[in-house]
Amino acid sequence: MTNTILTGDRPTGQLHLGHYVGSLKNRVIMQSDPENELFIMVADMQALTDNAKNPEKVSSNILQVALDYLAVGLDPARTTMFIQSQIPELSELTMYFLNLVSVGRVRRNPTVKSEIEQKGFGDSVPTGFFIYPVSQASDITAFKANLVPVGEDQKPMLEQTQEIVHSFNNTYGEVLVEPKGVFPDKGMGRLPGIDGNGKMSKSLGNGIYLADSAETVAKKVMSMYTDPNHIHVEDPGQVEGNMVFTYLDVFGKDKEKIEELKAHYRRGGLGDVKIKRYLIDVLEEELLPIRTRREEFAQDPGQVMQMLKEGSEKAQAVAAQTMAEVKKAMGIAYFS
Ligand code: TRP
């Protein structure tokens, strides 16, 4: 294996088209390269750092996220999918990493900083939430991952992990692998929501979900933000910032037809309903096989949980091996 790749998602909701174009699609591509070993983690412990009083929200979404993984074509025969909390070594490693990171350093993490502000935590920020980048360093290093495909917002986590790896290796000896972040191409990382307000997200309620029915997708597309000044069909319309065209650019295969539609829309004489109907067809082509597979897997949740159990066992064996090396390097492998 040339690459060990690890990434994960917090199970706080179902996955949507933003996840699909921003990361899931790419994971399926990486999975198809036999040179890659892929670990995909359902980060329930990280989700609990700001949902401690609402564990049901996290636990109930584990199956949903796993169904989304299987639906897009992640294959347990090739990719290890597992649940973070089922690998105690990750918590163990975090305890040792915490000693290598100062409070001041944790406080400077810009992503955590803005999350603390957004959530209005102030000084009441749960300690577990405050230090989750250190826990994320354990997720990555326990598998000796060299590549970590994530969104731009995860850059500070990768930097923190690299620092911890340096610190650990300098202090105790070369055990850990320094990972590299793999970030989405410019423009592909952030699919805006159907309302055109920033990125697609559950909290903004502007998402199209992989599990959405064809009717729901159609309804959402029909409510999409277009050009508020395009009132009459014959009016010239704006293509920039028009979500229908933004989505067509991302999902449409017939680029020539899309350019024609854009020109027609700009000239006037092309109605919103027409372009929306076309987008519905384009999305349906992509979503129908995903939805169909999702429904099939959803018939047997026990089998999906069994897949995660086996993945977790496999992942734990890898993490345990790293942990043994870590303890040996630190001189705390007292009984072996
Ligand atoms: N923080 C990531 C997110 O919110 C999820 C995550 C947890 C993760 N542990 C990870 C991603 C390790 C990559 C590697 O999306």
Task: Specify the DSSP element, H or E, that contains 79.
Answer: strand 79-83
Residues having CB closer than 6 A to ligand 1 are: 6-10, 43, 46, 136, 139-140, 148, 150, 154
How many Å lie between the centroid of ligand 1 and the Cα of residue 46? 8
Q: Using the atom order of ligand 1, give the atom closest to the CA of residue 149.
A: 13
Do the Cβ atoms of 266 and 239 come closer than 8 Å?
Answer: yes
- Identify which of 254, 225, 252, 253 has the alpha carbon closest to the alpha carbon of residue 240: 225
| CATH code at 3-190+301-330 | 3.40.50.620
Does the pTM surpass 0.85? The reply is yes
pLDDT at 272: 96
Q: Using the atom order of ligand 1, give the atom closest to the CA of residue 145.
A: 14
Closest C-alpha to ligand 1, atom 2: 9
pLDDT at 197: 86
CA angle 304, 306, 310 (to 5 degrees): 120
How many Å lie between the centroid of ligand 1 and the Cα of residue 274? 39
Quote the CA–CA distance of 287 and 268 in Å, as a whole number: 30
How many Å lie between the centroid of ligand 1 and the Cα of residue 207? 20
One of 3.10.180.10, 1.10.3720.10, 1.10.240.10, 3.40.1790.10 is the CATH number of 212-295, namely: 1.10.240.10
| Tens digit of each residue's pLDDT, the chain (336 residues) | 799 999 999 999 999 999 999 999 999 999 999 999 999 999 999 999 999 999 999 999 999 999 999 999 999 999 999 999 999 999 999 999 999 999 999 999 999 999 999 999 988 999 999 999 999 999 999 999 999 999 999 999 999 999 999 999 999 999 999 999 999 887 665 799 999 988 898 888 999 999 999 999 999 999 999 999 999 999 999 999 999 999 999 999 999 999 999 999 999 999 999 999 999 999 999 999 999 999 999 999 999 999 999 999 999 999 999 999 999 999 999 998
Closest C-alpha to ligand 1, atom 13: 7
How many Å lie between the centroid of ligand 1 and the Cα of residue 335? 33
Q: Would you list the domain boundaries of the chain? A: 3-190+301-330, 212-295
By most ligand atoms within 8 Å of CB, the mutation choice from 10, 50, 109, 146 for ligand 1 is: 10
Quote the CA–CA distance of 129 and 137 in Å, as a whole number: 14
